[in-house]
Chain A
């Protein structure tokens, strides 16, 4: 008989709707050991196969069960350089936990929460594993463009193999989407993100902020003048999309990227930071992905009434179940089957309402989801003074346009094979810059694959 899944403690929804402290409080040692004891230690662990970085999940869980958290952290460190981040933001339900045998008849092992526990516990108790680096006689210099999940994962592996790695970051803070996109209440910056990046510094990785590859330096300059033998491009997702409906440039309409960047990177939620943010009384967030949830829950915490406006039904929401659940608990209203067709402004050109059409679900589209069809004559208005567009991104053309021999995909991303090799020898790419917006862990997986391809490339050279 398998015991039920251990519930993770969370901040009360009413309380957390008013603060930016972390929602999930995580397991304590006792809870972690109880949960770890549920793992069946399958001979052919499906969870490992479903993890983009191939983490030895049963291996670390058995150490947790024994109460040897230091050893558990060492097992994790072999495959992941950002366990405290992944334990928090990975879509475990579609990856490791989604493949867990226990989940077939009951509830899967809480792998994400266990990973998070191991990372937090070892950090807080000063026993995080110091990974060992190989010593190369004449280490080649490798440049990594972007300090998001893809770049960090790539840099970590290369540093462990002894290469001399420099990460170039365009913004003033490290972490890419982990810093500007994911809010504090899902991923605390100082407590969790900064120490994980510090661990990379301890591996010898160098970081240079305020350096935009494609503007400050080109890839060609990195290779020809700055002495780098290979470059990994993990420059992220790119430019925010808008709907192309009337009124989108009214005051009070923001991309989710702008809203989240002001709040997370520029810390506009703190009164001691100078960057302003406008929230208004009533906010409509258009879109149904994780970024939409992050924007909505941020606006809520800044004091607004918040509606998610999504054109399909709730079943098709692309956001993680957990995020939707949390958002609802906190009081966010979901206006589904509802598609904006115009943003209406007042006499000062500020948003006053969102005009929408009611939708119904028709035939499945290419993505397999039933496509929404507008119901004629169903137009109605939702009063709002802020509209946040969370519709995804289109690739930033900067690096492709400024690098000779680097080809783009039809959709504008960097063209690369499954190991990250681009059309230009010595230049590798992975993460959202290649695939378009995806997840943190997929980007990390791509970064690790590219790191291996870079090692092969440099060894053959």
Chain B
């Protein structure tokens, strides 16, 4: 069970794996995530689902080496198995309930930062297949860290590239590129920003300025992922919400990003310690 079928490094720190998890593969919808545990002593790590093949029984996950536990995932090889893969968790994106007409009428712009491109992929494809207009901004620090460019080109109307150092595409961050696109006349009915929390905060500010509704997908701390622990709580519209039960996607305008950013750092000291000891 939960055996790794394929693995490739997308960048030196980011790997893509397909993992045998037939029940998750059969149920997964865009916007949902899963939790893995590498071994008996491992943490429960939430990861986004970037593809699912119900026939083959596999799900595709993309992991970036950040801490000790994610490094352990990236070090796993084809043929090895996770102790656990559980999901799909969280709610599907709101648009899965769209009518045919709503799909045809909508024009989405995705802003994908870093590994955020991976969960954007199934959403863009889902919308595009159903007749929505979809453009995707993929951003990274430099051209070597860009992921999912080719894949995305196949499932949306237009891919825009931006890099912080200008090594490829637009020289600057995703929000600046979005502003430029809108200034040049692009019209979108909704933006979706997925990436690091800080990037989603600024994407939301930018969308507010443009008067564009924005959905964000919150990557909070989490333990069980089933609503039991409350580690993932975030303030949305002044109320405490659980990212695992009420999210992970929220209206960006309503999210208290500053609090969410602080909460993300809660175990920084322990994480640094764990990395040192590894």
Contacts and interface: CB of A to CB of B under 8 A. Distances in A.
Contacts of B234: 249
Nearest to B38: A274
Contacts of A398: 226-227, 245
Interface residues of A, number: 40
B27 A266 contact: no
Given A216-B27, A251-B262, A274 B43 contact: yes
Given A216-B27, A249-B240, A276-B274, A396 B41 contact: no
Interface in A168-199: 170-172, 180
Contacts of A251: 262-263, 265-266
Given A239-B245, A257-B229, A172 B223 contact: no
A216 B87 CA distance: 6
Contacts of B27: 215-217
Contacts of A217: 23, 27
A172 B84 contact: yes
A255 B229 CA distance: 7
A258 interface: yes
B168 interface: no
B231 interface: yes
20 contacts: A180-B228, A211-B23, A215-B27, A215-B88, A215-B89, A216-B88, A239-B227, A240-B229, A240-B230, A244-B240, A249-B235, A249-B263, A255-B229, A255-B231, A274-B42, A274-B43, A275-B44, A349-B259, A398-B227, A398-B245
B86 A249 contact: no
A257 B84 contact: no
Interface in B231-258: 231, 233-235, 240, 242, 245
Given A217-B27, A249-B235, A257-B229, A209 B224 contact: no
A266 B84 contact: no
A248 B259 CA distance: 11
Nearest to A259: B229
B270 interface: yes
Given A180-B224, A212-B226, 11 more contacts: A170-B226, A172-B37, A210-B85, A238-B227, A239-B227, A249-B235, A249-B240, A251-B265, A252-B266, A262-B229, A266-B44
A110 to B, nearest CB: 34
Interface string B1-42: 000000000000000000000011001000000000100011
A121 B270 CA distance: 41
User: How extensive is the interface on chain B, given as a class?
Assistant: 35 or more
A209 B235 CA distance: 31
B265 to A, nearest CB: 7
Contacts of A239: 227-228, 230, 242, 245
Nearest to B83: A172
A238 B224 CA distance: 12
B271 interface: yes
Given A216-B27, A249-B240, A276-B270, A254 B231 contact: yes
B263 A261 contact: no
Enumerate the 6 nearest inter-chain pairs by beta-carbon distance, A residue then B residue, closest first: A276-B270, A258-B229, A210-B86, A255-B230, A172-B84, A240-B230
A170 to B, nearest CB: 5
B224 to A, nearest CB: 6
A170 B86 CA distance: 8
A281 to B, nearest CB: 14
Interface in B57-99: 68-69, 83-89
Contacts of B42: 274
Contacts of B68: 274
Contacts of B259: 249, 349
Contacts of B88: 215-216
Given A216-B27, A278-B270, A396 B262 contact: no
B41 A274 contact: yes
A308 B224 CA distance: 26
Interface in B202-234: 223-224, 226-231, 233-234
Contacts of B24: 216
B36 to A, nearest CB: 10
Contacts of A171: 86, 224, 226
